Amino acid sequence: MRKAPAPIIEAQGAFENHEQQRDSKRPAEFLGTDNPRHLRAIHAIRVSPRTRETLDHIAGCSNGPELVAELRRRGLEVPCDRVPCIDRDGFEVKRGIYHFTAADRRKIRRWLVRRGNTVRRGPNA
């Protein structure tokens, strides 16, 4: 039994003018949230970078990565740095620590100003 010949594909269409096309997945503008868990998580990460376990405890959830994914879908980046640590069994593992980028902090600051909250910058602000 013979195989059918491979179809001939001409290099046209999307690959032809790839320099002119832009990425269709632009980061969404952060429009804010009223979800209490989101608000607690945003406040906690603004204060300092947080591990998943700490974020679970502060936000009152049991699935911190999904909570962070929701914030990402709303327009924040919230990167997760993997840092080595020793677990309770003595093995070296990498745990995630969530933090905001400078762009995230600007988005949150703009949202808080639109919302009517003041942004405190220290005791002399």
Q: DSSP readout, 23-40?
A: -S-PPPP------HHHHH
Contacts 24+ apart (CB under 8 A), 106-110: 107/29, 107/30, 107/75, 107/76, 108/30, 108/42, 108/46, 108/76, 110/30
Task: Determine the pLDDT at residue 106.
Answer: 95
Q: Where are the domains of the chain?
A: 31-114
CATH fold of 31-114: Arc Repressor Mutant, subunit A (1.10.10)
Residue-wise pLDDT for 94-116, tens only, equals 999 999 999 999 999 999 999 88
* The pTM of the whole model exceeds 0.85: no
User: Integer distance in angstroms from the first to the last C-alpha of the chain?
Assistant: 81
pLDDT tens sequence across 68-84: 999 999 999 999 999 99
